Amino acid sequence: MEYNIALLKGDGIGPEIVDSAVAILEKTADKFGHKFNFTPYLIGGCAIDAAGVPLPQETVDGCLASDSVLLGAVGGPKWDDQPGDKRPEKALLGIRSALGLYTNLRPAKLYPALRAASPLKDEIVGKGFDLMIVRELTGGIYFGDRGYREGRYGQEAYDTEAYSVTEIERIGRVAFETAMKRSKCLCSIDKANVLESSRLWRKTMHALSEEYPEVQYTDMFVDNAAMQLVRDPQQFDVIVTSNMFGDILSDEASQITGSIGMLASASLGASTRGMYEPIHGSAPDIAGQNKANPIATILSGAMMLRYSFGLSEEADCIESAVDKVLNAGWRTADLMGSAEGISLTCTEMTEKISEVL
């Protein structure tokens, strides 16, 4: 099969880790007889420098014309003084919205080989955990009404959390379907004891749960969920939550796996075109030093094969190559911690995975 993939390398370590994922995708294509055509487009700070805007129209058009999109990371101190709507991060929200990617799947699992890198005690993570966070991605406070106004104490800034039944049902359905394919347990996370939007979220999820009698459905307040994730992560399988809560909880989930450098994500909409990216950022402190962990981006490439192209055997093959390399004791600097192993650069890790493929 032949596919056209748009590459949004972005800023910081973005170019290094996307190059790694491309190398692995190319090796996979050779092995299975596919052809992947890669076309780079600018996004984030590098787009501000080259074109004056974080998300050039050419980038949006290029992504819309491709079969799928692979993204590195955006942002860095150089662009921190940009006004809110010209920041590199705005481009990320813009492209998610332009491509209609309302679902964000963020799997977080503990690799047995990396157990020592997890900050949690053995008695908590001894049995491992494997969870899937389903984050709503094009609504909520990230996209709600915002601005400045005169308030009780003078000028104030505000952002608004708003969710419609349609948006909640749309993401809810994805979460229930995801649960049906896994262990049939779904936990919806909200703040319904305080927020009106969360009360509508909960009511809508409850109504939807009646269509999925086989799924064991529960709901939980977000503060409790943040606590439960470090107290007993194994109690969760599929989690569904709003855009902002999902952003926060997925970073927390990544830490308990040992490193944020391991977590991939898939952003999906109504079509098969998705955008795949590591959940970590642009790590400007290590950019250009060949130190970054490419695994989250490589695994994002595997998710692309699985979710957008239906190539699950190929995706399995990449995931198992990552497993084997970790089991053999190969690590990148972020995975060293207290764990034993041999530390590799970004390109060396990519070569190891490629050799095993």
Nearer to ligand IPM, 75 or 233 (CB): 75
Q: How far is CA 200 from the centre of its chain?
A: 25
Among 136, 143, 144, which residue's Cα sits nearest to residue 167? 136
Query: Does 251 qualify as catalytic in the annotation?
Result: yes
Does position 92 interact with ligand IPM (CB under 6 A)? The reply is yes
**Minimal CB distance to ligand IPM: which residue?**
89
Among 21, 117, 279, 349, indicate the residue that binds ligand IPM (CB under 6 A). Answer: 279
d(CA 28, CA 32): 6
- State the nearest-atom distance from the C-beta of 233 to ligand IPM, in Å: 19
Residue 247 as a binder of Mg ion (CB under 5 A): the answer is: yes
* Nearest by Cα to 163 from 194, 202, 134: 202
| Closer CB to ligand IPM, 10 or 172, in the complex | 10
* Binding region for Mg ion (CB under 5 A) out of 13-21, 41-49, 96-104, 242-250: 242-250
Can residue 89 be called a binding residue for ligand IPM (CB under 6 A)? Answer: yes
Alpha-helix runs per DSSP H in 132-242: 165-181, 196-209, 222-231
Ranges within 98-127 binding ligand IPM (CB under 6 A): none
Q: Tell me which of 16, 190, 247, 314 binds ligand IPM, using CB under 6 A.
A: 247
Asked if 258 contacts 269 with a C-beta cutoff of 8 angstroms, the reply is: no
- Nearest 5°: the CA angle 68, 72, 77 is 145
Burial 116-148 (b: 16+ CB within 10 A, else e): ebbebeeebbeeebebbbbbbbbbbbbbeeeee
Return the number of the residue (280 or 331) whose C-beta is nearest Mg ion. 280
228 or 255, CB closer to Mg ion?
A: 255
Residues that bind ligand IPM (CB under 6 A): 89, 92, 247, 279
Which residue numbers are catalytic? Answer: 142, 191, 223, 247, 251
